[in-house]
Every structure is written in C-alpha cells, then in structure tokens.
Structure 1
Amino acid sequence: MTTIRRDELTLPGVELGPENPLPALRPLRETHTVDERARATLPRDMARQIGYEPLRSVLPARLLDGYGRDRADTTLDTLVLENDRLRVTVLPGLGGRVHSLCHKPTGRELLYRNPVFQPAGFALNGAWFSGGIEWNIGATGHTALSCAPVYAAPVPGPDGTPMLRLWEWERLRGLPFQVDLWLPDGSDFLYVGVRIRNPHERPAPAYWWSNIAVPEERRVLVPADEAWHFGYEHTLRRVPAPVSDGVDRSYPRHGTHPADYFYEVPDGERRWIAALDGDGHGLVQTSTDLLRGRKLFLWGTGTGGRRWQDWLTEPGTGGYAEIQAGLARTQLEHVKLEAESDFSWLEAYGPLAADAARVHGADWTAARAEVAARLAAALPRAAVEDAYGAWLDRADTEPGERLAVGSGWGALELLRMGGKLLPGTPFDAATLGPEQEPWLELLRAGAYPAARCAAAPPGPSLVDRAWRDMLETAPADPATEYHLGVAQWHAGDRAQAVRSWERGLERAVSAWPLLRCLAVADRESGHLSRAADRYAEAFDGLCAERASTSAWTAATVALAREAIEALLAVGRPAVARTVFDRLDPSIRKRGRFRLLLAQLLVEEGDLVGARGVFDVGFEVAELREGAEVLGEVWVRVTDAPLPARYDFRMRP
C-alpha cells in the first residue's frame, strides 16, 4: 500500500541565513532576456508572450543572500511517499522539491540527487540549489520559493491511496498553486497533478516549468525535429534537432557553453521527454497536453560550465543536465491566465528501459520511435488522460493533518479579498505571523502602525494595487510613506515614490531606510554623485542604530555592499574605505567583501594588493548566474589569464 511518512535527511550543507531586509528595488541580473531586435524575428505568438508582463522586480519577496559555503552536516525535514515500486523523497521546507525518485525493484535513482545542500544565486530572489525535481512558478527564472517552506498534507487519492498535497501562495504574481503527488498502488509512475489558480478579478501572467535534474551522461530524447536555442548572448534562434552546427546536442556533454534547447513538439504529438543512459535505462516524463513545452539545459564542457558544476555540488560526484516541461514553448514567455480561472494538468515520472542500440543510434527518428513505443507500452497516453480526470475529481478535496506549514501571506491575501475560500488549498488565519501583523492592522483599521522605535530594520513591504490604495489613504507617517514609496516604485511610478520617501524623511526618527531608497532612485536615474552621498549618510545612520541581531547584521551587510559599490562608481575610494573599515572583521572576511576589497584597492592604485586578494583566494557565495564581475575586476588587476577558480563565464 502507498504510504506517506515524515523523515529526515542529513547531508553536508549550509544555513540559508536571514533574509535581506532591504527592499529589492532593483531587479536582480536576469540572464534570460532576448534582445528587442531578435524578438521581432520570432513567431508572433511567441513574441507576444515574451513581451507579456515581464517581471519588474522580485517584490514583495525578499532577497535570500546570507548563506555561505562552509558546509557542515545539515539535517533537512523530508516527507516520503512510497509504494512497492517507487520511493519519493520531498523537501517541504525547500519549495516542495523532490530530492529523490528511487525505483525500488532495480535500486536505480532516476534523478540527479545532489549529495550536498549548497545554495547559489540562481533563484529570482537569490538562494537556489541544484538536483531533483523543482516546481518553478512565478516568472522567467527559478522560483522565489526555491528555498521557502510550502504547505503539505495528505489527501485521499482517486484510487483510495493517499496523495501528498503541496501548496502555497506565489507572491510575485499573487497566484495560489497546488502540486499533488500520487503513487497508485503497484505503479511504476509517479503522478503529479498541478493546478495554478487566479482568484482575482483581472487576468494574470502565469509561468510554470517542472525542472528535472538528470545525470549529464544520458542522451535526452524528445518527439521534435527542431528546437529554439537560447545562449547567454541573449539570442533565440531556431535550430534543427538533435544535430546543429555539426554537433549532436542531445548529449549534454557535447556542448561547449551553457545553453537552453526549447523543443518544438508538433501539435498532436504526445508530450514527453526522456534521459537514458548507455544501456537504454533512465527517466521519462510525460503529461497531458496543456504542459506544452519541453527543454534541455546543458552546462557544456567549457571552463565556466564545469566551474558551475563544481560550485553547485561536490567536485568529483558527476555533473548533471536539466530536462524540463512548461506551459509555453520557451521559458522567456508568460501565459495569460484569465480572471477567476485556472490552469491544471497531470504529469507522470517513471523508469524507462529501451533498446540501447536504437536509443543511441544515428537515426534520430528511430531513436525517438523506440522511446515512444516503450513509453506507450509502460504508460499509454489514454491512461494519463484517465488519471488526469480522476485526479480532477479530488483536486478540491480538503487536505488532512498538516505535515508542513508554509507562510502566512496567503491567509492575509484571502482576508483582504473578503475571506475568499480556495477549496483544496486552505490558508488558515492561524498561519498569520509577525510579518503579517502590521498589514492586518492596515486592513482592519486603515492605518499602518507607526514604528515606535528603531528596534529592527523595517519589515517587508507589500506592493499589490489593493495594498497600495490602502497605504495612499492611510495617515501619512514615515513608516507608511516608506512602504507606499516601495509599492509606487514597483508599479513604475518612480517620481511619486521619490516624493513619498522625501515626505517620510522630513519626520523620520530612523532615516536610513528612506535614504537608502532615495539613493537607489538616484542611481537608477543617473544621479550617481547624489546617490553616493545618500548611501554614505544612510550607512552612518544605520551604524548609529544597529544592534547585535541577525536582522541588523543582514541590513549592515546589504547596505555596506551597495554603499561601497556606489561610492566606487563615482571615484570616492576614501569614503568607500571608511564604510569598509567600519564593518566587523567577520563580515570583511566574506567572499563578496573580499571582492569589494580588491575593487577598492584597484581604485586606490594598489594593484599589487588587489592581486594579493585574488592570490589568497575567496569565494563569492551568492554569485549570480551569468555574473562576470570576477573577470571584470581581474582584467583591471593583471594581464594574466583568469584562473579557473574564478571563471564562471557562461558565454563565449
């Protein structure tokens, strides 16, 4: 019989650290964008969806950038769903990630299972980790829920066996979603029912990609003869599959540079993607037709790609590639979800055994036909459709005992919407916590509670139009003006945001949060010298107020980094040096500040000292995907080749 149980997983890892308390007014560097000229050459529907509601920022989410790289044994809570054929290990505290999918009769691990927990700067809001199956919702990129807790509870499945339901409120788009994991008794396949709901009275941009990590030695097969190649030069072009530019790209290790291949699966074809090893064994994923897209991501064999592989896992444990399935043809697109409607579909994951000679033969059509035939025998297309219909009948079933609890933001939003209910995915008022309390007071009393003292950095801001309207009519104290300005900035009304922050500054006891927001506004509008002045003043104010708590340390680290960068940008290394020297030695030892020290030394004219920083060595734990800052600083220090340990370049 299928069972669900709690368990624990211990592996080398790091603590996530506190959230960054500074509102993310500037979008993080996102590598997945297309040049406007290239967009004009794309099919009309694809170009329209690429241009539909791109993300302005990761607000109201906060950045997660406080982790390090000094790993120690770390224990993670898990939920294990198991029948006599498969064992599924889920991480409810980390976005509901499927960490492992083990086929018990053969003992085969069907996924790439990361032997460490090492966050890196790949998610929209920072921390992300590789391996397993992740559920990407929100906007182009890895979800802001990558390292966040989700709700989990058992639900009776269509055949009487228990399903494991995961659900949360995705805050970037304001869309609740659920993922139901279901193992029918005796099944070799994990069924996954997914539903994204739009409870609002307006359309919303929807985004979903199920991201599956597999060992990179496998061949990736998909029912397509063409793909859209996306490279980190921000180009999207149609190429033949599997061979393009004389290389068979269905083998992830055949590429040189990291790249995406979004496959053109013809209408009417069954939707599937498989990754099979040299013996013809591996994983297959299939779905109902709404989940249109299929993709391969490969790291390639170049220095940068191999460096990232080592960075994200344990060197020497084998690399991985990603096979994915999504709502659109490419991950650069967002799909309109109409008001008060939903998207739903069923996925299936399981083992596949096929004839190795055909799978790895030169005849792509024959290789695909072999996999398609084996999949049809193991799991007919009609069976997936039938399972989808059976699952839909249970999608609204209320979950049982909570096995894990997510955030209180969904409960707050449903209260704002008049106590609206979402059958099957309850967001109970009992989950409201300290972060939601001031917003609950605004909702009920019409006033955001004024900060009585500078006991902590400001709490998180909300930016939805409804909350912005409430802030605009609330008494205009400094705390209200601060949060109102953040909401206005997010909405694109930057001039009004600046006016709100300036009004708040006139009466603020704690001025540094408002000064920092104004500094960002100055920097974005090209007033770099004034931005530097305001950053320096904000850092002085923070230092006068801060206490020895993790929240204050996180604020100090974040503001110091921004201030030093702004001061160096206008040629003020002496002032930047005073900011750097006021930091605790434990902060100055962090990799990001070792890099800032090298930049500071360059501006001070000490190239020997800057080279010494690189020679001693450092690691910037939160380095962003596609970042080239290490190489940019290096070439200002020396003409020598960039050492491999600092080479994270993802493009030629």
Structure 2
Amino acid sequence: MVDMTTVRRAVLTVPAAPLGPDNPLPALRLLGGTPTPAVDARDRAGLPRDMARQLGHAPLRTLLPTRVRDGYGRDRTPTDLDTIVIENDRLRVTVLPGLGGRVHSLLHKPTGRDLVYRNPVLQPAAFALNGAWFSGGIEWNIGAHGHGPLSCAPLHAAVVPAPDGGPMLRLWEWERLRDLPFQVDLWLPDGAEHLRVAVRIRNPHARAVPCYWWSNTAVPEDRRVLAPADSAWHFGYERTLRRVPVPRSADGADHTYPLRSAHAADYFYALADGRRRWTAALGEDGTGLVQTSTDTLLGRKLFLWGTARGSRRWQEWLTEPGTPGYAEIQAGLARTQLEHPPLEAGEEVSWLEVYGPLGADPAAVHGADWGAAGASVEDELERILPRAEVDTAYARWRAHAADTEPGPLLATGSGWGALEVLRDAHVLPGTPFPPELLGEEQRPWAELLRTGGLPDAPESEAARWTTPVNDAWRDLLESAAPAGPSTEYHLGIAQWAAGDLAQAVRSWERGLKNATERWPLLFCLAVADRESGHPMRAAERFAEAYDAQRRTGDPLVAAALAREAVPALLAAHRADRARRILDRLPEEVRARGAFRYLAARLLLAEGRKDEARAVFDAGFEVADLREGAEELGETWARITDEPLPDAYEFRMRPPE
C-alpha cells in the first residue's frame, strides 16, 4: 500500500511498433481547412451564437511547421517505455511523457479495475493531424480539429508542489500549429479516489490565436455513456451536423450504448448553460469512470465505432485481434470539435478536470428513463465529489500552484519553445523554456537569430531542417543574407504556410536557378502545381525531383518522393514513367505495404488486372492508412465485382 502520494519514474514493457523516422519532406499539402459541415436549416436556426460563429473559423491551411510521422510499420516487439507513476492508496496513474503525456492507465486499487481502456499494445496509426497516433488511455489534444500533433511526441515533465502540498506532475510543451505554450498538471491528494488535472493554455503573442482543446478518454465500449443532455449534435463521416435526441437517434438506435449503433459517429452533447459538466461510462453493474470539470471546459462528446465491418476492422487495426473494443468520451473548450474559439492577445485559459470511479444504481443507469439515469449519476457524483469542491480545488491550484517553477526534469520535450522564448523573450511562469533545451533541430534557426543568415551547410542537409513558419520567422527569412537556394527554399515554405502561394512559388523558382541540389525545390514546385490544378506539370516535376535525388543516396528521401511521384504520374496517365520509378526502388522498400498497394494500382493502370488482383490476394497492409480511407475498396472495385475482403475493409460511412 502507498499511504502517501508519490510521483516516481518507472518502465512499462508492451508490444510496440517503433515510430520510425518522420517524413523528410515538408508537409505542404493544403488541407482546405475543416470544411464547415452541412447543417439542416431547422438545426441552423437553433445553433448557439458562439457555435454558429466558430464553426469553420480559422481552419489550418497546412500541417506546417510539423512533419508527417509516417515511418512506423505493423511489426511489434516487446519495448520498454519510460513512464511516470502517480500513486496513492486508491489510484495508480501511469503517464507516458514521451508519447504526448498520455495517461496509459488509471488503476482503481481497491477493485483492481482499470477505469480507462488500456490498450495492450502500442500500434501507431494515421489518426493524428500529422500521422502517428495510438489508442487507449487519456490523451490531451491541442492544435486543431482532430488528434493533436503531439500525440506521439515527448513533453517536458517535472514535479511541482500540488495545492495541498503533496507532489504534482507537470507536463508542458509549445504547440507549434497554433504557436501556443500549454501545461497539464496532474495530482492525487492523499487518500483521494479521483485524479485532478489542471490545464492552462497561454497566448503570449500580440494577436488573437484560434484555440482548441479536447481531453479524450478511451473507455471499454460495452459501457453505457451518460451526460446531462437531452439532445446532441450528430456528426458522421457524411460530414453533416444535425441535432438528434438523446439517447435515441433518428435511426432508432440508443447510441449511449456504443455497440448498438452500426456506423462510427460523433455525438456532441448539448449541455444546458449552468448545468454541471460531466460524463460517465458505466458497466452493467452501474460502476465505471466519471469525468467532470469546472465550467470552462464546455463541451462533452461520445465517439463510437459502431458494428459495421469497417468499424470493426479499425478496432482490430489499432490493437490485437480478439481484444475488446473501445469508445471515447471527450471534453472540450467548445461545444463541438469543429470550432476554434479565439484566445485573445496576452490572454490565457485554464480549468480543472477530475477523473475517477463512480457507482450508481444499475437499474436506474440502464433503465428506460433517460432523465432518471442521468439524475442517478449526477446525485452520486455530487455526493462523492461536490461541484463546489472541484471549483475550490481549481481556485487553490490557480492561486498557489499554477505559476510555481518545476523541479528537475523527469522527461524532456522539444527545443521549439526555447527557440520561441529566445526569439521574443516570452515570460511564462511555471513553464520554463530555457536555452539549455535548444537542440540540433533548433541550431540553424538560433544562428539565423544571431547572425541574420542561415548556417553554411550542404543544400541536401539544409533541406532536412524543419522550417519555423510563423510571421516573425518569415520576416527573418525574407531579410536573411545571403539569400541562396536553401534560404529561398525555407522562405518559400514559410510563405506557403502563410497562404502567400504565389510568392512561395517565386521564392522556390529563384532558388532553383542556382541550386546544386535540385530535388527539394522541385518537390515544392510539384506540390504547388498539384494544388493549383496542373496535374500534368506536377507529375513531371515530381518525377524530376525523384530523378534528381538519386545521387544523394538517401533511401528515406527516395521512398518519400516515390510515394508522391507514382500517384501523380498515374493521375497524369504516365504509367510508363511511374513504372521506371517503382522498379528502381530497393526490394525492401517495394516490399512495404504502401508500395505493394502502389504496385497494384500501377498494374491496373497498365491493364494487367489479374496481376493487380494477385497483389491483393497475396496480402498487404498500408501501415499509415488514413482514418476513414476508402481507396482500398475503390481500387478493389476496379479489379473485380467480388465482395471486398475483410482485410481491406476500412470504410466508415453508411452505404449510399
């Protein structure tokens, strides 16, 4: 037994697929924003004002400055993960500081139950905004609509005195999509059964910044999910937003039982103003997890996978076959994840969340009376954790702990926050980003600050530098001297991120005139051609970029350019050129699932349908298949009228 709360390092061994290297190419693809969803006229009239204003507000143009994390595979081996354990005599909380600060497990010691869905494996999949993500536990999402770019990235971690004087774990980082520093403080008072989590997001800039936060908890999908709402906004993969009753949707299914719905969907609960914010996932016996918060964390959501073939395949994809599935209960700053409320210049937003066990009358929880089910949970929550107690705990944290400087680092994140503080001398009590955190990735940009120019380095090396793209860095690059090919390359990336696409193309074209290493600039120009509706020219430039990189001998660059060039050439009906690229790749690259799929597409384009079918029959797995991807099914349909095999069924929309 642990009589007093402790915070300690530990190691967790799980079967894991290595994350591998990031994609070496800049993430230039235009996202088109998060399209404003279609809203029925009757529902539109009933939208809250802030929700109507914030739907589709300030969407991301690109994923810059982040890199896409797609270097992982599907082969898992036992792997030691560094963890930080927060423990008292009631709960054991296991945190993964190197993987977004994810709470991997929340063990209720008196019952021996994990209150969250604990994934038995670590299998990256392309669910995060920038690629790699994994399921399970409690994750912290900041940035924009979706799983955040720090899902599989390290955070800084240290111990800070909690408001009650015990130890508190602080996690913090600088989120680069929106350029916002944030912190997550976790603590367990002695004898407490509920984990306290205080979050703060700061805007140190002289301009308003779109803000986004959703805390995402995976729970076993055989639970009933309850929240204090009689209606919800349903958002499915048809990209329509419509108001539906709770618990039954328009199709008659009781979506509060995730396994009773056929298709994957989000349900954003319409909580009345003034109501206590909470959600719970409870089993047949009425016990399970409850999450509540101070009122700033406005939204509550259920995500369910459903029972359709594609949904079950995704559940299998994210863990081990035969393992029970999960649903997600989430809490966010806005009513839906399609909103990005502004955080004004110099302002901050903070709140307190609480996670822990709750048991209510199972007859009420699972009864036909939805109002009585919610009341039974809310009454029990108020008994074990009064709303006033949560508000008081937040006030004490804000007054006595939020700004306290942390002790020695237990884990180290990135140096990007230190670079921003070096550039603009931001003062951020409680979340230090000292110069000692600067690393090799930040070295070229620290030199730009110091000297007014980028370091003298081979162009192939400079192309691997990750470009900071906010307005200040763009200004520095515009005045950098000398303005050689590498400077023009990075300036163009910053201009592209800002939406100045024409100027970005001019910068890349200037750089290309004197470049000795042409592939980085050719790649950028190819993307610009593709995004501006010139597929033939884009295909030619992608192919030229691939040919130009061959003398560098970098297999990572070769594979990344081939994955761009081959689809572009197929779209331009240049199967002959695509064949030359694919056949030049090393055998170990062509054996990967993504390239086996490209080979099938190429065979189909060459009219060799039987050979394309043979690739599918032999089997392959595209490790970084995107959530909701339908392309495997579409390619299969061009080969045969036979039903799509389960191994390739990832469709999540209802059939049209």
| Contact map agreement 1:294 1:323 (CA 8 A) in 2 | yes
SS class of match (1:435): helix
Paired residue for 1:54, among 56, 59, 77? 59
| Contact map agreement 1:564 1:579 (CA 8 A) in 2 | yes
Work out the CA distance in 1 between the residues paired with 2:332 and 2:44.
23
CA gap 1:496/1:32 in 2 versus in 1, 3 angstroms:
closer
1:31 is displaced (CA, Å) by 8.0
Q: Which moves more between the two structures, 405-414 or 26-35? A: 26-35
Find out whether 1:119 has 2:119 as its counterpart.
Answer: no
1:232 is displaced (CA, Å) by 0.3
| Contact map agreement 1:450 1:478 (CA 8 A) in 2 | no
Work out the CA distance in 2 between the residues paired with 1:378 and 1:239.
31
Find out whether 1:182 has 2:192 as its counterpart.
Answer: no
- Tell me the residue number matched to 2:633: 631
Find out whether 1:24 has 2:27 as its counterpart.
Answer: yes
Letter in 2 for 1:26: R
1:43 is displaced (CA, Å) by 4.4
Paired residue for 1:493, among 481, 497, 500? 500
Unaligned runs of 5+ residues in structure 2 are: none
1:32 is displaced (CA, Å) by 7.6
Q: How does 1:85-164 map to 2 (within 5 A)?
A: 85-164=90-169
- Tell me the residue number matched to 2:8: 5
Q: How does 1:167-566 map to 2 (within 5 A)?
A: 167-245=172-250, 246-393=252-399, 394-417=401-424, 419-452=425-458, 454-455=460-461, 457-475=463-481, 476-546=483-553, 552-566=554-568
Work out the CA distance in 2 between the residues paired with 1:415 and 1:184.
37
In percent, how many aligned pairs have the same letter? Answer: 67
Letter in 1 for 2:96: L
| Contact map agreement 1:128 1:146 (CA 8 A) in 2 | yes
SS class of match (2:629): coil
1:554 is displaced (CA, Å) by 2.4
| Contact map agreement 2:36 2:56 (CA 8 A) in 1 | no
Q: How does 1:575-590 map to 2 (within 5 A)?
A: 575-590=577-592
Work out the CA distance in 2 between the residues paired with 1:73 and 1:385.
43
- Number of matched residues? 646
| Contact map agreement 1:217 1:252 (CA 8 A) in 2 | yes
Give CA deviations for 1:612-650 in whole Å, capped at 9, x if unaligned. 000000000000011111011111111111111101011
Work out the CA distance in 1 between the residues paired with 2:611 and 2:393.
65
1:521 is displaced (CA, Å) by 0.5
CA gap 1:51/1:495 in 2 versus in 1, 3 angstroms:
same
CA gap 1:30/1:638 in 2 versus in 1, 3 angstroms:
farther
Unaligned runs of 5+ residues in structure 1 are: 547-551
Work out the CA distance in 2 between the residues paired with 1:201 and 1:30.
24
Letter in 2 for 1:643: P
Give CA deviations for 1:590-619 in whole Å, capped at 9, x if unaligned. 111011000000001000000000000000
| Contact map agreement 1:573 1:603 (CA 8 A) in 2 | yes
| Contact map agreement 2:207 2:345 (CA 8 A) in 1 | yes
Letter in 2 for 1:323: I
Work out the CA distance in 2 between the residues paired with 1:643 and 1:508.
48
SS class of match (2:603): helix
Give CA deviations for 1:94-128 in whole Å, capped at 9, x if unaligned. 00000000011111110000000000000000000
| Contact map agreement 2:286 2:359 (CA 8 A) in 1 | yes
Work out the CA distance in 1 between the residues paired with 2:36 and 2:623.
24
Q: Which moves more between the two structures, 358-367 or 46-55? A: 46-55
Letter in 2 for 1:401: P
1:267 is displaced (CA, Å) by 0.5
SS class of match (1:116): coil
Letter in 1 for 2:468: L
Letter in 1 for 2:352: L
| Contact map agreement 2:181 2:203 (CA 8 A) in 1 | yes
Letter in 1 for 2:402: A
SS class of match (2:598): helix
Work out the CA distance in 2 between the residues paired with 1:628 and 1:29.
19
Work out the CA distance in 2 between the residues paired with 1:68 and 1:32.
31
Work out the CA distance in 1 between the residues paired with 2:458 and 2:229.
62
Work out the CA distance in 1 between the residues paired with 2:32 and 2:92.
37
SS class of match (1:244): coil
| Contact map agreement 2:97 2:156 (CA 8 A) in 1 | yes
Give CA deviations for 1:135-192 in whole Å, capped at 9, x if unaligned. 0000000000000000000000111110000000000000000000010011010000
| Contact map agreement 2:40 2:241 (CA 8 A) in 1 | no
Letter in 1 for 2:17: V
| Contact map agreement 1:592 1:620 (CA 8 A) in 2 | yes
Find out whether 1:646 has 2:648 as its counterpart.
Answer: yes
| Contact map agreement 1:223 1:272 (CA 8 A) in 2 | yes
1:454 is displaced (CA, Å) by 3.2
| Contact map agreement 2:34 2:338 (CA 8 A) in 1 | no
TM-score, length of structure 2 as denominator length: 0.97
SS class of match (2:123): coil
Work out the CA distance in 2 between the residues paired with 1:180 and 1:27.
35
CA gap 1:35/1:450 in 2 versus in 1, 3 angstroms:
farther
Give CA deviations for 1:313-335 in whole Å, capped at 9, x if unaligned. 11111000000000000001001
| Contact map agreement 1:573 1:600 (CA 8 A) in 2 | yes
- Tell me the residue number matched to 2:606: 604
1:33 is displaced (CA, Å) by 5.5
- Tell me the residue number matched to 1:549: none
| Contact map agreement 1:14 1:70 (CA 8 A) in 2 | yes
CA gap 1:144/1:601 in 2 versus in 1, 3 angstroms:
same
Q: Which moves more between the two structures, 25-34 or 459-468? A: 25-34
1:40 is displaced (CA, Å) by 6.2
| Contact map agreement 2:33 2:59 (CA 8 A) in 1 | no
CA gap 1:184/1:621 in 2 versus in 1, 3 angstroms:
same
1:47 is displaced (CA, Å) by 2.7
Work out the CA distance in 2 between the residues paired with 1:322 and 1:234.
19
| Contact map agreement 2:35 2:56 (CA 8 A) in 1 | no
| Contact map agreement 2:31 2:60 (CA 8 A) in 1 | no
1:44 is displaced (CA, Å) by 4.0
Give CA deviations for 1:510-543 in whole Å, capped at 9, x if unaligned. 0100000000001111111111111111101111
| Contact map agreement 1:88 1:100 (CA 8 A) in 2 | yes
Work out the CA distance in 2 between the residues paired with 1:593 and 1:520.
20
Letter in 2 for 1:369: A
SS class of match (2:229): coil
Letter in 1 for 2:532: S
Work out the CA distance in 1 between the residues paired with 2:431 and 2:129.
24
1:461 is displaced (CA, Å) by 1.0
| Contact map agreement 2:34 2:56 (CA 8 A) in 1 | no
